[in-house]
Amino acid sequence: MTSNDVLKNLTEYNVWANARVLKSMDRIEGDLPDYAQLMFSHVLNAQAIWIARITGTKSPVTVLQRHTLEELHRLHEQTSPKLVELYANADEAELNRTIDYTNTQGKAYSTKVQDILTHAINHATYHRGQVARELRLAGHEPINSDYVTYVRIQYGQDLEI
For residue 99, count CB atoms less than 10 angstroms from its CB and return exposed for 0-12, middle for 13-18, buried for 19 or more.
middle
**67 labelled binding-site residue:** no
**123 labelled binding-site residue:** yes
Angle of helix 34-55 versus helix 113-137 axis, rounded to 10: 170
- Residues 80/112, Cβ–Cβ less than 8 Å: no
**73 labelled binding-site residue:** no
For residue 103, count CB atoms less than 10 angstroms from its CB and return exposed for 0-12, middle for 13-18, buried for 19 or more.
exposed
How many whole angstroms from its chain centre is CA 24?
15
Residues contributing to the annotated binding site: 42, 123, 127
Residues contributing to the annotated binding site for a divalent metal cation: 42, 123, 127
